[in-house]
Amino acid sequence: MRHELFRQQRKMEVEGNLGREYVPVLHDLPQLAAIYVLCAQKAFNEQWAKNYKKPLDRVNGVFIDTDELVRKLSIDQTEREKLENDATIPLSFYNRSVQSSTSLNDLFMWFQVFIDVLLRMEHPETGREKLLGLCRKLYDGNLSETAILDQFETNYQSEMAIWWYTRGSCHSRILDKALRIQDLEILFYFHFFIADLYEQLKQDQKRFLDTSHDTNLYVYRCHVMSTKEFNQIKENVGEFLSINSFLSTSKNKTVALEFVKRYCSSVDLQPVLFQIEINTLLETKPYSDISHLSYSGGENKILIMLGTIFQIVNVTFDKEYQVWTVQLTMLSENDDEFKDLFDNYTKDMGAVNVGSLGSLLQEMDELDKAEIMYRKHLEIDPVEGAASYTNLGDLNNSRGRYDEALEILNIALNIQQNSSSDNHLAIATTFHNMGDAYQGKKEYKQALENYEQALTKYNTSSLPMNHPNIIEVKASISKVNDLMT
C-alpha cells in the first residue's frame, strides 16, 4: 500500500495565507505534481512565490479568480498527461565496442535503412486517401478532429507538411505514437507525409544555413524518459545514438527547461536535457529553424529529421536545475567510420527494398515485423515482390505452420516458373523451403523430391559448390534418406 501511495501524483490548491507556511514543507514531496495558490492578495503572495521559479519548482501560479485557476489546471493537466504518455522516447544505440553483431546494433542499422526505403518509395495519389481513411477510423465520432481531417483532405500540399505536423492534430499524434512503438503498418500509411517533411526540411535548411553565421549551433530539448532508457544512454557514452522521431528543439535553453516544470518526480522517470551541438558546415540529415513554417509560430524552433544520428559525448547532473544533461553532437552523413559500418551492414542485402528489410528482420527473429515487410512488398510490387512469397513461406516454416507455408510457396513457384527471366536460384530457394515444410510435416518422400529439385536448380545457378545453401540442402537430403530407412 505504501508503494502505491508513493507513486500517486497529486495537485494541491492552497489558500494564500496558508501557502507561505505549507509550500516549503510540502514542495519536494514526490507525490506532488504542482501547487496552485488561490488568494485575495495576489501581489503579496507572488512575492514569496518568486522563490519557486526554477524549472522544476512546482508553484504553477498565484490566482485570485477561480475560473482562471480552473483553466490553468485543465491546461497543465492535459500537458502533464501528454508528457507522461510520451515518456518513452524512441532511441536506438550502436555500440562499437561490441565486436559481434547484437540485436541492439542490428535494430539501430535496420531503422536507418527503413527510413531510407520509406523516403525512396513512390507516393501514389491513393496514399493520402489511405491515410485519411486510417485517421477517420481511429478518430470516429471526434467532431473537432474530423473537421481538421476535412481541411487536410482539401488543403494539404507537400510544401505545408511542417505546418500540418506542428498543428498537433490527430495525424501527427498517430505518427508520433507509431514512431515511438515502431508500428510499421501505421508508418507505411505515413510514408508520403514523412517524405514531404524530409523534403521541406531539406529545402528550408539551405535558407537557414545561408542566413546563419554560426559554425556551431547549440539546441536544447527537455524530455522525461524511463529510468531504463536513461541508463542505456549512460552506458553508451562515446557511442552512437539515433532518435527515431522528429525532434523539436529550441535554441533557448531556458525555454527548453520550462518544459520539465510540468514533470512530477518519480522513481520510474528521469528529467533529461538534451544539449545538441551541430556543426553547420557538415552534411547531415536535414534540420532547420521552422518558426516561420510551424502552425503556432514562435521563435528559435529547430526541427530535426527523424533518424538523425548523434554521438553521446557526456552525461552529467545539473544540481541547480535538478536535471540530467546529455551532451550530443550531430553526426555527419559522411562520417567515415559510420559509413563503413553502414556499408558493411547492407553489403549482403542486394537490392535495398521493403522485401530485403523483411529478410533482415527475419534474421533478427522479428518475425511479426518481417511478415509486415513481406506483405507490403507484395502490395507495392506484385511482380518484383514475388520473392516475398518465398520468404513468407520460409517464415511460416519457422513458426511451424507448414500447411500455410506450402500454400504460399506454391504461389511463389507458379510465378517463378512462368517468368521469362533466368531465375534458377529463386526457384531453387522455393523448392528448398518446400522441402523444409514437408519435412516438418513428416512427409519425407515429398520432402526428398523437393530437396532434389532444389539441388538441381542450385547446380544450374551461379552459386559455387561450397555455398551454404548447397551444403544445407545436401545435408537435408541425407537426413531425410536416413529418416526413410
Q: How far apart are CA 457 and CA 363, in angstroms?
A: 24
Residue 18: count of CB within 10 angstroms of its CB:
11
Supply the range of the domain harboring residue 298: 86-345
Residue 116: count of CB within 10 angstroms of its CB:
14
* Residues 121, 172 within the same domain: yes
Q: What is the pLDDT of residue 35?
A: 77
* Residues 452, 410 within the same domain: yes
* Residues 398, 274 within the same domain: no
Distance from chain centroid for Cα 268: 21
CB 357 within 8 A of CB 387: no
* Residues 72, 154 within the same domain: no
Rounded to 5°, angle at Cα 372 from 368 and 378: 140
Q: How far are the Cα atoms of 94, 237, 275, 333, 343 from residue 336, in angstroms, in the given order?
A: 15, 19, 24, 9, 10
* Residues 171, 220 within the same domain: yes
* Residues 363, 462 within the same domain: yes
Q: Phi and psi for 38 in degrees, rounded to 5? A: -110, 125
CB 324 within 8 A of CB 271: yes
Using DSSP, state whether 275 is helix, strand or coil: strand
pTM comes to: 0.79
The enclosing H or E element of 185 equals helix 184-189
The DSSP result for 445-472, as a single string, is: HHHHHHHHHHHHHHHTSS--TT-HHHHH
Query: Cell for 287?
Result: 534540420
* Residues 221, 305 within the same domain: yes
Among the listed residues 320, 317, 307, the one whose alpha carbon sits nearest the alpha carbon of residue 271: 317
Question: Where a domain ends, among 24, 57, 78?
Answer: 78
Query: Cell for 66?
Result: 477561480
List average pLDDT for each run of 10 residues in the chain, which is 485 residues long: 34 50 58 70 62 57 76 72 63 80 80 90 83 94 93 94 92 92 92 96 94 91 87 94 94 84 63 95 95 83 96 94 94 91 78 85 90 90 82 95 96 87 87 96 96 94 88 94 88
* Residues 186, 93 within the same domain: yes
Q: Which residues of 219-238 are buried (b: 16+ CB within 10 A; e: fewer)?
A: bbbbbbbeeebbebbeebee
Q: How far apart are CA 453 and CA 449, in angstroms?
A: 6
Question: Where a domain ends, among 314, 345, 376?
Answer: 345
* Residues 172, 245 within the same domain: yes
Question: Where a domain ends, among 78, 101, 117?
Answer: 78
Query: Cell for 363?
Result: 534474421
* Residues 255, 387 within the same domain: no
Using DSSP, state whether 55 is helix, strand or coil: coil
DSSP E strand boundaries for 144-245: 216-226, 240-243
Q: What is the pLDDT of residue 17?
A: 53
Q: Rounded to a whole number, what is the largest CA-CA distance in the chain? A: 97
Using DSSP, state whether 15 is helix, strand or coil: strand
- The CATH number covering residue 19 comes to 3.40.50
User: What domain count does the chain have?
Assistant: 3
Among the listed residues 408, 410, 421, 412, the one whose alpha carbon sits nearest the alpha carbon of residue 387: 412
Q: What is the pLDDT of residue 455?
A: 94
- The CATH number covering residue 464 comes to 1.25.40.10
- The CATH number covering residue 252 comes to 3.90.176.10
62 CB-near residues (< 8 Å, 6+ apart): 16, 37, 39, 42, 45, 46, 49
Q: Phi and psi for 350 in degrees, rounded to 5? A: 70, -135
* Residues 341, 469 within the same domain: no
Q: What is the pLDDT of residue 218?
A: 96
Q: What is the pLDDT of residue 341?
A: 84
* Residues 139, 66 within the same domain: no
